């Protein structure tokens, strides 16, 4: 697809015109409309490439169109580059971001996502009954599915990056008692803090991440106990802990680990 492309060739002068039009010019809106509608098949094509990954095609087309609008707005023809080489990555980037924001990295089949949701649903229930975190076999029993499916679902959980669903499910309750517990953990913290300046780094964390780290590593609570206390799922605690440790490792001067 180049300037010579018959399908889009007529739009090239419009792009130049649009870029040259003053932002306050009333004709700008009409030009933009014409451009977006003209290039829409490109957005639709990109959206279709991301179909069958668990997001409805309609949503993807909408997101791709947002990407296209951004591309039209930001493209500067005077740099001499071709519109497509600018627009395609911009649109794909927007769609990728959508997947990321939806919480899943790509290519997790619908079945596994559903399984993840079912697993998450029974984990806290089982934990309450057992007084500890459940095992894969116990989850399988409760759901009436083979253990192999649970193992697969747990693996899929690792591909679950952001926490949009958990965020919606979590609540602010319990934060008062967490404060008290953190007080005790705080004393424990002094023992490590003398060597590494951990406190200022911990202080930069979001309150919930900081609380979870303190309770796990200085308050001697299990993930399941923390989940119960903070009001989020065990899997979410697990994810937040892993992410936070990663961040802390980057922040702590590596030299301090070498004696």
Partner 1 sequence: MSDLDSLHDDELFGASTVEVRTSASAALIPTIRAVASDLAARADFDLDAISDLRMAVDEACATLVDVAAPSSILQCRFVVRPEQIRVLAEVSAAGSDSVVSTDTFGWRVLQTLADEVEVHHTPGTDGARPTVGIRLDKRSGDGSR
Residues found near partner 1 in the complex (CB under 8 A): 123, 130, 132-137, 147, 151, 154-155, 158, 192, 195-196, 198, 216-218, 220, 222-224, 234-235, 238, 241-242, 245, 248-249, 252, 254, 256-259
3-state secondary structure at position 75: coil
CB 117 within 8 A of CB 90: no
Smallest gap, in angstroms, from Cβ of residue 165 to partner 1?
A: 17
Complex with partner 1: residue 30 or 148, whichever CB lies closer: 148
Q: What sign results for the dihedral spanned by CA atoms 137, 140, 142, 145? A: negative
Smallest gap, in angstroms, from Cβ of residue 32 to partner 1?
A: 43
Complex with partner 1: residue 69 or 198, whichever CB lies closer: 198
How many CB atoms are closer than 10 A to CB 49? 12
Smallest gap, in angstroms, from Cβ of residue 177 to partner 1?
A: 20
CB 86 within 8 A of CB 75: yes
Complex with partner 1: residue 67 or 134, whichever CB lies closer: 134
Smallest gap, in angstroms, from Cβ of residue 171 to partner 1?
A: 21
How many CB atoms are closer than 10 A to CB 184? 14
Complex with partner 1: residue 40 or 252, whichever CB lies closer: 252
CB 126 within 8 A of CB 134: yes
């Amino acid at each position: 697809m180049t300037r010579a492309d018959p399908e889009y060739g007529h739009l090239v002068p419009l792009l130049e015109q649009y870029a040259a039009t003053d932002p306050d010019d009333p004709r700008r809106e009409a030009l933009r409309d014409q451009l977006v509608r003209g290039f829409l098949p490109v957005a639709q094509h990109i959206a279709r490439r991301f179909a069958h990954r668990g997001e409805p095609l309609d949503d993807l087309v909408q997101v791709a169109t947002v990407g296209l609008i951004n591309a039209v707005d930001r493209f500067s023809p005077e740099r001499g580059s071709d519109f497509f080489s600018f627009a395609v990555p911009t649109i794909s980037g927007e769609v990728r971001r959508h997947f990321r924001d939806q919480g899943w990295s790509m290519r997790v089949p619908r079945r596994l996502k559903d399984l993840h949701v079912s697993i998450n649903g029974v984990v806290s229930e089982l934990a309450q009954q057992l007084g500890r975190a459940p095992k894969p076999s116990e989850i399988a029993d409760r759901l009436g599915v083979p253990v192999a499916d649970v193992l697969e679902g747990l693996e899929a959980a690792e591909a679950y990056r952001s926490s949009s669903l958990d965020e919606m499910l979590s609540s602010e309750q319990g934060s008062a008692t967490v404060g008290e517990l953190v007080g005790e953990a705080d004393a424990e913290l002094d023992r490590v803090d003398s060597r590494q300046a951990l406190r200022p780094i911990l202080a930069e964390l979001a309150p919930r991440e900081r609380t979870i780290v303190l309770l796990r590593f200085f308050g001697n609570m299990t993930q399941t106990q923390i989940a119960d206390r903070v009001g989020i799922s065990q899997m979410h605690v697990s994810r937040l802990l892993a992410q936070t440790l990663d961040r802390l490792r980057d922040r702590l001067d590596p030299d301090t680990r070498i004696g």
